[in-house]
Chain A
Amino acid sequence: MAGNAWRSMLSQVVVGGAARPLIAAFLQERMQTVTMIPGDGIGPEISNAVMKIFEAAKAPIQWEERNVTAIQGPGGRWMIPPDCKESMDQSKIGLKGPLKTPIAAGHPSMNLLLRKTFDLYANVRPCVSIEGYKTPYTDVNLVTIRENTEGEYSGIEHLIVEGVVQSIKLITEDASRRIAEYAFEYARNNQRSSVTAVHKANIMRMSDGLFLRKCREVAENYKDIKFTEMYLDTVCLNMVQDPTQFDVLVMPNLYGDILSDLCAGLIGGLGVTPSGNIGANGVAIFESVHGTAPDIAGLDMANPTALILSAVMMLRHMGLHDIGNNIQNACFDTIRDKKVLTKDLGGNSKCSEFTDDICRRIQDM
C-alpha cells in the first residue's frame, strides 16, 4: 500500500518528458505480487487468459497461484489453507476465479470462508452497459455496494423443534457504519453524485432501522453527495423499468446479493460483470462472480470477460490506471467487433481466440 502511494506521488511529481521514460522504467521493475486463485471448473482456463493478457500489456504483476480447498484446522474449525493466507497477507491483492459452493455439504461455502478470513466487508459491483453486447437495457451505469460479512448470511441457524427452523439475520452498528463509510468514500473517489440506501425497515424495524440510522449518520459527513433511502421492493420495481435513475446503492447482505445479480442481469449476466471485495487492513480480492460451469470446463469455450474486467478493477485499485484502461478498451473493442466472440456472447469462437484477439489489440496500442 505504501509502495502504491509513493509510486503515484512520484508519477505526479514528474513533468519533464526526458525524465519520464527513466522513472517509468524504474517503476516497471518494481513488480507487485498478486495472489491468483484460479478456482474450479473454468477457473484455470480464464485465469490463464488473464495472465496472458497481462503479459501482453506488460503489467508489472507477479502472480502467485494458490488453491483454496477448505481444510479442517485444530479444534474442528474449517479454514483456508495456511499457504494461501500467508500469500494474501503479504501481497494484499488477490484475483479469484469461480469456486464451487455445494448445497448442504457440512462445511461453509468457500466464498464465505474467504470473506470471514480476510474480513472482506464490502462487495463492489459496478454495472455498466457494454456497447456491443445488446440487452433490453441500455445506459445502465450504477454501482452496488453490499455489506459482505453479516446480515442474513451470518450462517447462524437453529432447528428449534422438529419442523421449526430459525435463521438469524445479524446487523451490527460497526459493520453498518463501515459499509456506509466505504460507500460514501467510493462515491466521492469515483465522482458519483448520489448514494441510495436500500432497506426494508417497515418490516424489519430494528435491524434495517439500525442500518439506516448509520447510513444517515455517515451521510452527514458527506454533504456533497446526495443521500436517499428506498425500500427494496420499490428499488426492484424501478430498476426493471428505468435503471438510469440509480447511481450508487448501499445495502445489507441479502438485498445486495439479489440486487447485484439483478443489475448484472441488466447488463448481460455474470459472464460480463466485474466484482471486487474490499477488506480491512487494505486487503482486496477481485473476482469473477459467475459459476464454475463444469459442463464446459476444459473445452476452451469459457468467456473470460468477467475475470478480465475484475482484473481491470484490480489494476485501478492499485493505481495502474493506464494499463487498466488499455486492457478494458481492448476487451470492449473485441466485443464490439463481434468477430471472435465466445458462445455465451453470441459467437462460436474459442476462449483462446478471444484472448489472443485482445492481446493483439493491446500490443497494437
Chain B
Amino acid sequence: MTARSVQSVSGALKLLFNNRLTRVYGAATCTQRNKSSYTAIPPPARYGGRHTVTLIPGDGIGPELSKHVCELFRFCCVPVDFEVVNVDSTKDSEDDINNAIMAIRRNGVALKGNIETNHNLPPSYKSRNNLLRTTLDLYANVMHCQSLPGVRSRQTNIDIIIIRENTEGEYSSLEHENVPGVVECLKIITRTKSLRIADYAFKTARAQGRRRVTAVHKANIMKLADGLFLECCKEVASGYPEITFDSMIVDNTTMQLVSRPQQFDVMVMPNLYGNVVSNVCAGLVGGPGLVPGANYGTDYAVFETGTRNTGKSIANSNTANPTAMLLASCLLLDHLKLHAYASMLRRAILCTLTETRLHTADLGGHGSTSEVVHSIMSAVQSTGPRTLSI
C-alpha cells in the first residue's frame, strides 16, 4: 500500500469508524524517513482501562530511576503497565533501538532514560537518542523551567517554556570528509519543519495563556538558514495577534538569561540553540535533577529528563535526584489523560522538594534517592486515595 492510497483509505474510514482506527493508518503516512521500516501498527495500547507504556531505562542513572518510577506507580495504583525495552549502547547493531522504536509505535507513548553515545566511535555508530527522535518524528521538545521555592538558585521568579525543534538543524548527522583533514557538517533548515515548530510554539502559548514568544536565532551570520527559520516564525506569529512575538540572537539570549531571565516567557528555536538554552535555564532553576522534558510528535510522545544526562558518575550510588524523572512521568500521565493521578503525584513530589525540603546532593542536601522516593510515597499516602502499603 503506498502512502497516498493509505491516506485516501483513511479518509474514507474516518466516515465509517471512529478516529482511533484511522489514526493507525494516518500514522503510517507521517514517517518521512525510514519508509522501509513501516509495518502494520495495531490499535493504541489501552485495554481494560489500563495503558501500556514503553519504558527504556537507558544508561547511567536511568535504570535506577526507572525502577523508582515503576515502584511509585505501583504504590499509587496508577493504571499504567510498563513494557520495558532495554537498549544496549555498547552494541554496534541498531536492532535494540529499532525494537524500542517498534515498541513505541505499538504503545504510542514512552518514558526513557538517556542512552549513552560513545563519541569516540566512528560516525557509522549513530546516537541512539537522535535516531529515536528522528525516526518517530518527535518534532517538538518542550521544557518548562520554573523557579521552585526552597531550591537554592541565584535567580528567582523564572518561568520559561522552551520549545526546541527536535529533528533537523545541526543534528541532521549529515557529515562528510571532502579531503583528508577537511570535514563538512550540514545544518538543514526546512520551511515545513520551521513552520511546524513555530505553530506548535504559538499553539502552546495560546493554550497556556502566555503573552510572549521569543524566537532565538543567529540570522545575522547564518542569513539563509536562521533567516528562513525566523521568517517562518514571523509568518505564524501573524496568525496569533494576541501574542507578542519578538526575536533575539542566541549569544545575547544567553547573556540575558544569566542576568535577567525573568523577561522570557515562551522561547522557540532550532535544535542546537535549544540544547544550549535549555541547559542554561535548567542550571538557573536548580540543576539537571529538577526539570522534566517532553518530546512530542504527531502520533507519539516520549518523556525524559529535560537535560538528557546519563549521570554516569553517580550511577548506582543512590544519590541521583529522582525529581526530573518523576515529574516526567507526571507529564506522561497528563498525556494519557490520567490527570488526577498526575496532579496527585506532582503535588507530592513538589511537597517533598519545597516543604519537607528533603534534597539530594545536587541541591545541597544529604538525602538519598530512595529516601526522597519514600518521602514522596508518604506524602501521597497522607493526602491521597487508597494506596498499597509502604
Q: Which of A54-62, A78-86, A263-271 contacts B (4 or more CB under 8 A)?
A: A263-271
What per-residue 1/0 map shows which CB atoms of A171-185 lie under 8 Å from chain B? Answer: 111100000000000
In the assembled complex, A109 has its CB within 8 A of some CB on chain B: yes
Q: Which positions 310-343 of chain A face chain B at CB distance < 8 Å?
A: none
Q: How far is the CA of A267 from the CA of B123 in the complex (A)?
A: 38
Within 8 A of A (CB), among B142-164: 154-155
A172 nearest in chain B by CB position: B182
Please state if A265 and B259 are interface contacts (CB–CB under 8 Å). Answer: yes
Cβ–Cβ < 8 Å partners of A205 in chain B: 119, 121-123, 125, 173, 175
Q: Which A residues touch B226, using CB under 8 A?
A: 167
Interface check A345, CB cutoff 8 A: no
Cα distance, A236 to B274, chains bound together (Å): 12
A204 and B175 contacting across the interface, CB-CB below 8 Å: yes
> Is B227 positioned at the interface, with any CB of A under 8 Å from its CB?
yes
Instruction: State whether B258 touches A171 (Cβ < 8 A).
Output: no
Please determine whether A166 and B186 come into contact, CB atoms closer than 8 angstroms. yes
Shortest A130–chain B CB gap in Å is 14
Query: Can you list, as one digit per residue, whether each of A226-248 has a CB less than 8 Å from chain B (1) or not (0)?
Result: 00000011101111110000000
Spot the interface stretch: A29-37, A68-76, A253-261, A353-361. Answer: A253-261
A213 to B350, CA, bound (A): 44
Which single member of A169, A238, A259 contacts B185 (CB below 8 Å)? A169
- Residue B228 at the chain A interface, CB threshold 8 Å: yes
Stretch at the interface among B97-105, B247-255, B338-346: B247-255
**Does A4 count as interface, using CB distance less than 8 angstroms?**
no
Interface centre among A152, A236, A261, A264 (most CB of B within 10 A): A236
Residue total for A at the interface (Cβ-Cβ under 8 A): 63
Q: Which residues of B contact A241 (CB under 8 A)?
A: 283, 287
> In this assembly, does B374 line the interface, its C-beta being within 8 Å of a C-beta of chain A?
no
B188 within 8 A of A: yes
Question: B276: CB under 8 A from chain A?
Answer: yes
CB distance from A221 to the nearest CB of B (A): 19
Q: What total of chain B residues lie within 8 Å of the partner, measured CB to CB?
A: 65
B244 interface hit (Cβ, 8 Å): no
B223 touches A104 (CB 8 A): yes
Q: Is B257 an interface residue (CB 8 A)?
A: yes
Looking at B123, B171, B254, B279, the one whose CB has the most chain A CB atoms below 10 A away is B254
Residues of A near B192 (CB, < 8 A) are 163
Tell me if A262 is interfacial: C-beta within 8 Å of chain B.
yes
CA of A232 to CA of B127, assembled, Å: 16
State which of A7-15, A153-161, A293-301 sits at the interface with chain B: A153-161
Name the prevailing secondary structure of the B interface residues.
mixed
- Flag if A269 contacts B255 (CB, 8 Å): yes
User: Is B279's CB under 8 angstroms from A236's CB?
Assistant: yes
A56 to nearest B CB, angstroms?
A: 32
Those of B75-91 within 8 Å (CB) of chain A: none
Given contacts A167-B189, A172-B181, A205-B123, contact A136 B154 (CB under 8 A): yes
Asked whether A171 lies within 8 Å of B183 as measured between CB atoms, the reply is yes
Q: Is the CB of B283 within 8 A of A237?
A: yes
Nearest A residue (CB) for B173: A203
Interface membership of A48, Cβ < 8 A: no
A102-B220 Cα distance, complex, nearest whole Å:
7
Q: Binary interface profile of A, 131-148, with partner B (CB < 8 Å = 1, else 0)?
A: 000011100000000000
For the complex, is B284 an interface residue (Cβ under 8 Å from A)? yes
Q: Does chain A have a CB within 8 A of B370?
A: no
B251 touches A136 (CB 8 A): no
Decide if B219 touches A103 in the complex (CB within 8 Å): yes
A202 at the interface (CB under 8 A from B): yes
- B225–A165 touching, CB < 8 Å: yes
Taking A240-B258, A269-B259 as contacts, is the C-beta distance between A166 and B225 under 8 angstroms? yes
A259 to B187, CA, bound (A): 20
How many pairs of residues, A versus B, come closer than 8 Å at their CB atoms?
190
Please state if B259 and A135 are interface contacts (CB–CB under 8 Å).
yes
A201 interface residue per 8 A CB criterion: yes
Q: Whole-angstrom distance between the alpha carbons of A156 and B156 in the complex?
A: 41
A44 within 8 A of B: no
Is there contact, CB below 8 Å, between B119 and A201?
yes
**Residues of the B chain whose Cβ atoms lie less than 8 Å from the Cβ of A109:** 220-221
B24-73 residues with Cβ-Cβ distance < 8 A to A are none
Cβ 8 A contact of A265, one of B123, B257, B287: B257
For the complex, what is the distance from the CA of A158 to the CA of B250, rounded to whole Å? 22
Distance of B145 from chain A, by nearest CB (Å): 11
Residues of B within 8 A of A254 (CB): 218, 272
Bound Cα distance A135, B287 (Å) = 20
Q: Is the CB of B117 within 8 A of A202?
A: yes
**Cβ contact within 8 Å between A101 and B220:** yes
Chain A residues lying within 8 Å of B207, measured Cβ to Cβ, are none
Q: Which residue of A lies closest to B280 (CB)?
A: A236
Contact digits for B280-317, partner A, Cβ 8 Å, 1 yes 0 no: 10111001100000000000000000011100000000
Q: Mark A184-204, 1 if CB is under 8 A from B, else 0.
A: 000000000000000111111
CA distance A166 to B120 in the complex (A): 26
B181 and A165 form a contact (CB under 8 A): no
Q: Do B185 and A207 have beta carbons less than 8 Å apart?
A: yes
- Cross-chain contact A262 with B254 (CB below 8 angstroms): yes
For residue A225, CB closer than 8 A to chain B, the reply is no
B191 adjacent to A163 (CB under 8 Å): yes
Measured between beta carbons, the chain B residues less than 8 angstroms from A264 are 255
Asked if A166 and B188 make an inter-chain contact with CB atoms under 8 angstroms apart, the answer reads yes
Q: Report if A1 contacts B (CB, 8 A).
A: no
- For A170, the chain B residues whose CB sits under 8 A away are 182-185
Enumerate chain B residues within 8 angstroms of A269, measured Cβ to Cβ: 255, 259
| A137–B219 alpha-carbon span in the complex (Å) | 30
Known contacts A136-B155, A165-B189, A168-B187, A258 near B221 by CB under 8 Å: no
* B224 close to chain A: CB less than 8 A: yes
> In the bound complex, do residue B175 and residue A233 qualify as a contact, i.e. CB atoms below 8 Å apart?
no
Kindly provide the distance from the CB of B274 to the nearest chain A CB, expressed in whole angstroms: 10
State in angstroms the CA–CA spacing of A298 and B252 once bound together: 24
State whether A257 touches B251 (Cβ < 8 A).
yes
Residues of B within 8 A of A136 (CB): 154-155, 258
A–B Cβ pairs within 8 angstroms, 23 of them: A103-B219, A103-B227, A152-B170, A155-B221, A159-B224, A163-B228, A164-B191, A165-B188, A165-B228, A170-B183, A171-B182, A171-B183, A205-B122, A206-B183, A236-B254, A240-B257, A254-B218, A257-B250, A260-B251, A261-B254, A261-B255, A269-B259, A270-B255
By Cβ-Cβ distance, the 6 closest A-B pairs, closest first, are A163-B191, A173-B181, A265-B255, A240-B283, A261-B251, A201-B119
Q: List 8 other contacts, CB 8 Å, given A172-B183, A205-B121, A262-B251.
A: A168-B186, A201-B119, A206-B123, A207-B185, A210-B183, A234-B279, A254-B272, A262-B254
